[in-house]
Structure 1
Amino acid sequence: MTDVTSDAYDDLFLGIPLPLPRPADGREVRDLAYPRFTVLLEPVRRLAVVTAVNIDGSELHDLPRTGEWQLDARVPAAEQTGPAVYAANDLDRGHLVRRRDPGWGSTAEAREAMEATFFYPNAAPQASSFNQSKELWLGLEDHVLQFADTTGERVSVFTAPVLADDDPPYRGIRIPRRFFKVAAWATQEGGSSHLAAAGFLLDQSELIDVSQGALAVPALGAFRTFQVPIADIQELSGVDLGELVAADVLPRFDGPGAPVRGEAAWRPLRAPADIVLS
């Protein structure tokens, strides 16, 4: 694959206007359009600050995995976290927009979109250790799609690492300790459509240790997954999530602009049954 189509994230996909979230501080980003998704690449951190994808669950394909990781020629290699960061260690190239998510429509369209997810701006370093919590994180979109089945199975998902200043340095980048995901869908109430959304956080802090100058993955570490107020995600990530905050199915009751409540007040997820979507 050498070319990238540019139909990108559609902010009217749900039938309700939902603009692409952007950094609240107006920092410079690179807008990269791919089939049915968009990546906002933060050139200083060399990682995405936001990704946004439209998923039509009624037209998804289950195609064999094709595509190879590659740099995006539209931006300098020095602004991307490329193959050197992932070489000879226990880091995975963690898809932000999942391979399957934009893979809908015709078979050719689905294959092109799936292969486009293998550009490095759509990846972020994740510990390779696999456990039940990470499996849950990987399946959140599927769970939301199943829930949204009665409204046409259309979901828009926003995913990115939380780019914190105290993320540990490694090979010229800083490895994110947390990742956020916000899923949005339309609900029918009183004869009209309303936006609904749910926010999630994955924490890999226990699995990332660079204190000795090299990456180490503690044997007893674990991924931790939470459902959290979208307002908390907005504060932690520095991304303006707009209408998604008000549409949260897990609202905060301490008012807008309140400080992040933190892990003690978040909802830990151990199985899909723990997720609140209504």
Structure 2
Amino acid sequence: MRLQFGPLAELDPLRVTEGVLPLESYDDRRGYDPGFVLPATPLPLPGPGRWADDLIELLPAARRNGQDATELRYTHFSVRMSKSRALPIYSACNIDGAQSDRGVPRSNTWRRDPRIDPSHQNLREGYGDERRGLFSRGHMTRREDPNWGSRDTAKRADVDTFHITNVAPQRQGFNGGIWLDLEDYVLDNADRSNLRVTVITGPILSDADPTYYNRQIPVAFWKILAFIHAGTGELTTIGYRRSQMDYLPRPSGGRFVFGDFQDSQVPISAIAEETGLELDAYADFDVMAGASSNMEIRVSSVADFYLSR
């Protein structure tokens, strides 16, 4: 299947376009598959929990029969967004390691999604040169993760990850390290006969988040990964939390108190408490199930993660 592009405005130096893809070009997007890792035990999209009344809905012209109006479906991943924050509450992706196509050229062009109100999609404000205190557009679903299947499908997935709906503001120094390596590490420890992983990523949106460039910037982020463990052969989930506090610029005219924020493996029940999302389906298979929500394991590399009970 070939990618279909509508008329696009001229790109600016930051690789941003005001043009959008044709509405009908999204008709074949299937989004997140709950039964991807283990069909007998589907893992649904996280429930909206306290965000239920704040979810952005598809415009009437973009709705299809039987589709949840709050689910933005892309190639191999889905997004739900907060109206009040104009940010994703999470992006959920299926990764097929056996069909991965890491050679897909980076499309690298950020755009809005025509299926929702553009006023809830911040394409430019606050983003730009880090030396000026601006932020990077940090992928929630990593660019490479949904790029699998046929070459045309992988190309379409890459383009899909560059929608601004799949983004939260991140400092460039934060957007690396374990945050990028974790999916690969889990795939390396997955059952070779079922090299499939589900990754759900999002910001922890708090009323206490600091404001930069007229927007509240999330301090902390989380990931949940689900896979078939190579050693046990069982469905397994892990939770991960990371803060960009130490990377944030000091607010103008104010002090910034730096804390002890590191990469941590945490119970999925703790992520549910912090995010307000419904994550029971994932917590049931968590290697840290039963641990106190205050429990955390500081990690300095992906090898420090506990992948089994």
Asked if Structure 1 and Structure 2 have the same fold, meaning a TM-score greater than 0.5 normalized by the shorter chain, the answer is yes
For residue 245 of structure 1, what is the aligned residue in structure 2? 283
Q: Which has the higher strand share?
A: 1
Change (3 A) 1:145 1:80: same
Change (3 A) 1:202 1:67: same
For residue 78 of structure 1, what is the aligned residue in structure 2? 119
Distance 1:272 1:112 in 2: 29
Specify the SS of the correspondent of 1:102.
coil
**2:264 counterpart of 1:232:** no
Give the TM-score taking structure 1 as reference length: 0.87
Specify the SS of the correspondent of 1:148.
coil
Distance 2:127 2:260 in 1: 20
The amino acid across from 1:20 in the alignment is L
Distance 2:216 2:241 in 1: 18
Identical aligned pairs, as a percentage? Answer: 34
**Structure 1 stretch 36-45 or stretch 70-79: which is displaced more?**
70-79
For residue 169 of structure 2, what is the aligned residue in structure 1? 125
Give the TM-score taking structure 2 as reference length: 0.78
Which structure is larger by alpha-carbon Rg, 1 or 2?
Answer: 2
Give ranges in structure 2 of 5+ residues lacking alignment: 6-20, 57-70
Distance 1:75 1:210 in 2: 33
The amino acid across from 1:226 in the alignment is S
Deviations 1:234-271 (A, max 9, x none): 100111112111110122334xxxxx41xxx3111111
Specify the SS of the correspondent of 1:139.
helix
Change (3 A) 1:213 1:181: farther
For residue 147 of structure 1, what is the aligned residue in structure 2? 189
Distance 1:54 1:213 in 2: 44
Select the residue among 208, 212, 218 that pairs with 2:252. Answer: 212
Work out whether residues 169 and 210 of structure 1, in 8 Å CA contact, stay in contact via their aligned partners in 2. Answer: no
For residue 277 of structure 1, what is the aligned residue in structure 2? 307
RMSD over aligned Cα atoms: 2.5
Runs of 4+ in 1 over 6 A off after TM superposition: 220-223
Distance 2:101 2:122 in 1: 29
Distance 2:181 2:260 in 1: 17
Select the residue among 197, 202, 208 that pairs with 2:242. Answer: 202
Distance 2:46 2:256 in 1: 33
Give ranges in structure 1 of 5+ residues lacking alignment: 255-259
For residue 9 of structure 1, what is the aligned residue in structure 2? 32
Count of residue correspondences = 264
Specify the SS of the correspondent of 1:27.
helix
Specify the SS of the correspondent of 1:41.
strand
Change (3 A) 1:110 1:217: farther
Work out whether residues 81 and 173 of structure 1, in 8 Å CA contact, stay in contact via their aligned partners in 2. Answer: no
**Offset at residue 187 of structure 1 (A):** 4.5
